[in-house]
């Protein structure tokens, strides 16, 4: 099984490269969380980053690469003061409308049998990030997610 590869680009700037597989998202997240702890990011802020990156990386596996193994993707993280910038890149299918989903809140009223089991991911990403932007160029998707990590 291929392991995630981490390159230290500069002080508090790293690039983690991996290929899609059953546990690739966990591997990349574990690397990222270890580094955030090293960089002194507080636990509550790290929790929010964990949630957002898990959703965005799951999206790469499920939608960019349609659950295929072996798809290349990367997570680039830079911390400057209390601003964390993350960029997730892949070479898979772009967002259908050329833009990430709105992530509207999911309605929860009604009987138990009709409770939703999905649709929460993009809502959480948008709630927990300061800023989100997306670019598709030359076959590469780049999703930038910025956080205030106080």
Q: Is 47 left (phi over 0), alpha (psi -120 to 50) or beta?
A: alpha
Binding segment for another protein among 5-13, 78-86, 121-129, 134-142 (CB under 8 A)?
A: 121-129
Pick from 1, 10, 11, 23 the residue near another protein by CB under 8 A: 23
User: For residue 69, what are its two tokens?
Assistant: 């193994």
List the x/- string, 50-79, binding to another protein by CB under 8 A.
Answer: xx--xx--x--xx-----------------
**Helix segments in the chain, DSSP class H:** 24-38, 43-59, 121-128
Across the beta sheet with 131-137, what order do the strands follow?
Answer: 5-10, 13-19, 72-80, 83-90, 140-148, 131-137
Per CB under 8 A, 25 contacts another protein = yes
Count residues near another protein (CB under 8 A): 31
Asked if residue 9 lies in contact with residue 15, where contact means CB atoms within 8 angstroms, the answer is yes
Q: Is 52 left (phi over 0), alpha (psi -120 to 50) or beta?
A: alpha
CB of 3 to another protein, least distance (A): 16
CB of 58 to another protein, least distance (A): 5
Which residues lie near another protein (CB under 8 A)?
22-23, 25-26, 43-44, 47-48, 50-51, 54-55, 58, 61-62, 105-106, 108, 112-113, 115-121, 123-124, 127-128
């Amino acid at each position: 099984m291929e392991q995630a590869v981490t390159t230290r680009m500069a002080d508090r700037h790293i690039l983690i490269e991996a290929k899609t597989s059953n546990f690739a998202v966990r591997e990349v997240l574990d690397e990222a969380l270890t580094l955030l702890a090293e960089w002194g990011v507080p636990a509550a802020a790290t929790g929010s980053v964990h949630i957002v990156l898990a959703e965005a990386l799951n999206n790469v596996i499920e939608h960019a690469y349609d659950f295929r193994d072996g798809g290349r993707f990367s997570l680039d993280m830079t911390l400057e003061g209390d601003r964390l910038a993350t960029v997730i890149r892949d070479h898979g299918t772009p967002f259908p409308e050329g833009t990430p989903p709105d992530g509207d809140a999911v309605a929860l009223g009604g009987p138990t049998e009709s409770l939703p089991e999905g649709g929460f991911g993009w809502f959480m990403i948008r709630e927990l990030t300061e800023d989100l932007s997306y670019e598709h160029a030359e076959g590469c998707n780049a999703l930038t997610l910025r956080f205030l990590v106080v």
